Amino acid sequence: MLRSLTLPSIALLVALAMAAAYDLVRERPLNVILLTVESWRADSVLEEHMPHLLLESGPHGLQFTNHRTVSAWTAPNTIALLSGFSPFEQNAHTRGYSIPAELDTVSEQFARGGWQVTGLQSFMLIDLFKNLGLEIDSGADIKHWLASRARDRQPFYLWYHYLPTHLPYQRQFGSHEGLYVPPADEVESDPALASRIEAVATKPVIPAGSVEFEASDRRWVESEYLGGVRDFDEWFAEFWRFYRRIGLDGNTILVVTADHGEELLERGNVGHASTTHVGHLHEEIVRVPLFIWMPKDLLDVPPGSVFEHQTDHAMIAGMLKRLVGLEDAGSPRSSGGKPDWLPPSDDVWFALTSAAGFAEPDPERVNRFVAAASKGSAKVQVEVDDGQIVGVAGWNLRDDPGEVSPVPAPDETFQQLLALLEDKIASLPKRESDRDETNVGTDALAPRWEHPRIVGQVRYADIAGEAYLQWSGDADASHILEYEAGSGFLTLDGTIEVDGTRYDFGEIGKSYWSTWIVPYRQVRFRVRPRGGGQWSEWLELEFAK
């Protein structure tokens, strides 16, 4: 029988099998991939820095050039993308916070609708990303994960965060032609300059005042940052070819945007709220790229179209609901040059950030905020302390796109924006602290540490593949895990609520360990039952490469 199969008949069978597989894939709901890029500014999207994105993949998708974030650090922005709720509604203002469980997030609606809603990175395990319907497959390689699910019957919604564009700026494999590098002899003869260059190349956070930058530093700081952007362009080029090769371009909506932008000395600092600790909502922080790709039969505008109308992070979740059919949008069409599947955006854009983002000095008492609103070319930013507006500034973005000179006499539009911000700030939900400092109320023994068995210095080889903490106690009870990390300007502390007696950090890559953990140098942990009881002894660790 096998001998009777000719080459044409074999080719026909293969073609029929491929067609059947394709029909099977398209019969199921569309997949969604949300790819967020760390600290990616809109003004970096130029052919000289991102030729692959703009010339290879861009012509197949849609570009939105008037897109803004809704906060100044990662968590509130990604929560908005996934949930559809703005930072004024999320109440997720620093570490230890979560979006309220009673809010019905769009990502949870996807999960209930049958999508596998997944994140692949260990940082997604923290409290900030709870109540979003996310399953965390920590440590899974994105290509392997996608390849294994490309033709599954169950659709997926994957969130992946590209991290290497975060401080410290470390060029890897992209082209660095045309980027400025300070002359070696100039660096050698100027120890202060050498120290500033080293800070940008080695520190994951640079709090305001910790490094005395000079105005002339902007040229090389920007070049170091753009080196990382070019690295992302190389990474995305490889990802895009893989994405098309396994057929995801025929059954998947791909959204590529940033968590937020990045200050490059416009206000004297390098970074964003969580790294400078003086967060703001100026355009270099909130203007970010947005690209969307979808199957050709879903496109109702020409591929490569560029849209200039106002969009922001809080509208993306609703857009995805409409595209996949979770919300009936009728037949896709375009009107006025704008796709009908885009939810209507408000005339006014709003944003809110805590002053220090993830690094707030006291997570239980977040009092300092910055809020902003804009309409047309008018923009207002306010500083808030303990619920009261203590500073106001406004700009005409048409005449002053860099927000250098505040408007001396605000007109009616500015006053309207200020009134809207006052209402939003007055209605911010208050967070009730559930911190219990007592050691009374139970006779239970203090927990004892069971893992790690190493104390003192910990190297990457000691934790690779088993980054977790474990202690004795009731495995069915909740516990409070307290931590204190770093010293001086590089300090972080807080608490994590843990169900059971084990806390997994997920799989930590060697580069992540060296770049974002080792600089803290030391950490200590203690744990106790959530309802009260005795604290464990401090578990003290020192980090080394």
Tens digits of residue pLDDT in 234-249: 999 999 999 999 999 9
Specify the higher pLDDT residue, 225 or 435: 225
| Shared-domain flag, residues 269 and 316 | yes
Rounded to an integer, what distance in angstroms lies between the CA atom of residue 315 and that of residue 343?
7
Q: Is residue 502 part of a domain?
A: yes
Residue 191 in any domain: the answer is yes
Q: Considering only 66-75, 174-183, 492-501, which range has the smallest mean pLDDT?
A: 174-183
Alpha carbon separation from 406 to 136, 294, 397, 402, 409 (Å, rounded): 45, 41, 10, 10, 9
What is the per-residue pLDDT for 336? 57
User: 117-165, pLDDT tens digit by residue?
Assistant: 999 998 898 899 999 999 998 878 999 999 999 877 899 999 999 999 9
Based on the fold, state whether residues 225 and 140 are members of the same structural domain.
yes
80-95, pLDDT tens digit by residue? 999 999 999 998 999 9
Whether 174 and 306 share a structural domain? yes
Same domain (yes/no): 47, 171: yes
- Strand runs (DSSP E) across 112-196, as ranges? 116-119, 135-136, 156-162
* 201-244: pLDDT as tens digits: 999 999 999 999 999 999 999 999 999 999 999 999 999 999 99
pLDDT score recorded for residue 454: 73
Residue 397: predicted pLDDT? 96
Q: Per residue in 277-322, pLDDT tens?
A: 999 999 999 999 999 999 998 888 899 999 998 999 999 999 999 9
Here the CATH number for the domain that contains residue 485 is 2.60.40
Cα separation of 28 and 251, whole Å? 9
Confidence at residue 47, expressed as pLDDT on a 0 to 100 scale: 96
Section 359-381 average pLDDT: 95
Please check whether residues 293 and 192 belong to one and the same domain.
Answer: yes
| Domain membership flag for residue 290 | yes
152 belongs to a structural domain: yes
pLDDT band at 99 (very low <50, low <70, confident <90, very high): very high
What is the mean predicted confidence (pLDDT) over 366-372? 96
pLDDT at 524 over 90: yes
Stretch 31-56: mean pLDDT: 97
In a domain, 359, yes or no: no
Q: In this structure, what token pair is assigned to residue 302? A: 């020409």
**End-of-domain residue from the set 320, 349, 378:** 349
Decide which of 461 and 100 is more confident. Answer: 100
Tokens representing residue 337 in the block: 């040059």
379, 341: one domain: no
pLDDT of 25 above 70: no
pTM: predicted TM-score of the whole model, two decimal places: 0.89
Q: Is pLDDT of 332 > 90? A: no
Query: Domain residues for 326?
Result: 29-349
- Evaluate whether residue 521 is within a structural domain: yes
* 118 and 47 part of one domain: yes
If asked whether residues 403 and 463 sit together in one domain, one would say: no
End-to-end CA distance of the chain: 62
Same domain, 345 and 372: no
Structural domains counted in the chain? 3
- The domain spanning residue 311 has which CATH number? 3.40.720.10
289 preceded by a cis bond (ω within 30 of 0): no
Question: Over 60: is that where the pLDDT of 186 sits?
Answer: yes
Both 273 and 414 in a single domain?
A: no
Query: Any idea which of 8-17, 72-81, 168-177 has the lowest mean pLDDT?
Result: 8-17
pLDDT bin (cut points 50, 70, 90) of residue 511 is: confident
Query: In the structure, what pLDDT confidence band is assigned to residue 174 with cuts at 50, 70 and 90?
Result: low
Q: Do 99 and 39 sit in the same domain of this protein? A: yes
Whether residue 456 sits in one domain with residue 408: no
**What beta strand segments (E) does 349-387 contain?**
349-354, 368-375, 378-385
Domain final position from 349, 380, 402: 349
- How many Å apart are CA 500 and CA 517, to the nearest integer? 25
**pLDDT greater than 50 at residue 3:** no
Beta strands 311-312 and 67-68, pairing class: parallel
Lowest mean pLDDT among 1-5, 41-45, 303-307: 1-5
Structure tokens at 133: 């319907």
Q: Rounded to 5 degrees, what angle do the CA atoms 524, 525, 531 make?
A: 155
